[in-house]
Amino acid sequence: MQSAASAASTPIWSTQLDFDDNGTTYDDPIAFSPTGLGLNSGSYYLVNAATGAAVPQSVQSDGLVCASADIGAATLAQWSMVAGTPPAGTASSACPVTETGATSVTATAGQAGGGMQFLGVGQTNAGSDGNLTQITQDGEQAVETWTSSQSGAGDANVYLQLNPLSAVEAASDVTVQVKYWATSGQGFVVQYDTPSNAYQNGPTVSSPGTGTWATATVQLTGAQFEEAQNGGADLRLNVTNASAPLIVRSVTMVDGTWPATFSVDLGATTTLGSVVIDLPPSSAWQTRTQTLSVLGSNDDSIWSTIVASATYTWNPSTGNTVTITLPSGTSDRYIELNFTANNVQNAAQMSELEIFG
């Protein structure tokens, strides 16, 4: 085994952690992947390139090297990765066990520490499609993309980076909620890493054009977020109209909550006509949307889709109720509702279910 001091003189790989003077700081673990860096199979650890001393770190079971970082604005640190096992006494309590961290991460404009961050905030690179400006919109901190005339780029994107030790980073199926300003004619596609496509197109979000804050909820499937792109981005919001800014307040990603299901045994096979889903009619339950499908079965084992997945709106002004008409000839003993999204919270909501023949 090489000592930290001797190994530091011949680093296998080095990085400079440089934080600019616009007030940006970082105080969270950072994970490095030897495999992702193209290193041969083996054990590696990080040392301070200037002193040769091992930095506080922990090696995860999948080979990721997690190191503690506390870097202020207008400062930098240079680390080197060397072969061997971290010396005793360098373990970092800030590093969780591999990817058992947060199951929900959020990037919020003007805030840090949510497990996800906007990239390119304050960036002014000509020709860059990821420049973001921090602004105040309707009393809330937000970021907005540069227009194509500002950047000289033909495209515009909001790039986001996940905490690599969160459970969300390891998830293949996640829910994404985006709070954005509903500008007329604007929208975005949620694009994310998959094993075969660096920027797989997810769902497209079209703005309702209300000139207010709106929240879009989409589902991503088959993701592989370890394949970071474009300066460490794990996903991006690809702007529909690059000639106008997309304004975003926050982005939240959640692992493991969806789908949520609710099933009913009618006691016998019955001819069915509709299902009615109620929420409390109180004005405290503001308008919301939920995405769900309706399934049926006669043996509680083999299920078939009766009504394909769709998004429905509950509005307190109309009683906070939704009726889903079933196809003519529907006949089942068991009915199941399969919820996959809710634009208000990360869980299905239902106060009463009625099934009519």
Using alpha carbons, list the distances in angstroms from residue 287 to 140, 244, 309: 21, 28, 20
Contacts of 195 (CB under 8 A, 6+ apart): 222, 224, 227
β-bridge partners, 204: 189
Tell me the residue type at 313: T
- pLDDT value of position 325: 97
Encoding tokens for residue 163? 């905490």
Q: Are 309 and 275 in contact (CB under 8 A)?
A: no
Q: Which residues of the chain have pLDDT under 50?
A: 1-9
- pLDDT value of position 3: 32
- pLDDT value of position 355: 93
Can you tell me the distance from the alpha carbon of 267 to that of 270, in angstroms, rounded to the nearest whole number? 9
- pLDDT value of position 12: 72
φ, ψ for residue 242, nearest 5 deg: -70, -10
Using a 10 angstrom Cβ sphere, with 0-12 exposed, 13-18 middle and 19 or more buried, the burial of residue 10 is: exposed
With a pLDDT cut of 90, the percent of the chain lying above it is 36
Can you tell me the distance from the alpha carbon of 346 to that of 175, in angstroms, rounded to the nearest whole number? 8
- pLDDT value of position 6: 37
Q: Are 75 and 4 in contact (CB under 8 A)?
A: no
Q: Give which of 10, 230, 279 is closest to 131, Cα–Cα.
A: 230
Q: Are 92 and 31 in contact (CB under 8 A)?
A: no
Domains located in the chain, CATH noted: 4-83 (2.60.40), 104-255 (2.60.120.430), 260-356 (2.60.120.260)
- pLDDT value of position 9: 42
Can you tell me the distance from the alpha carbon of 75 to that of 92, in angstroms, rounded to the nearest whole number? 22
- pLDDT value of position 5: 35
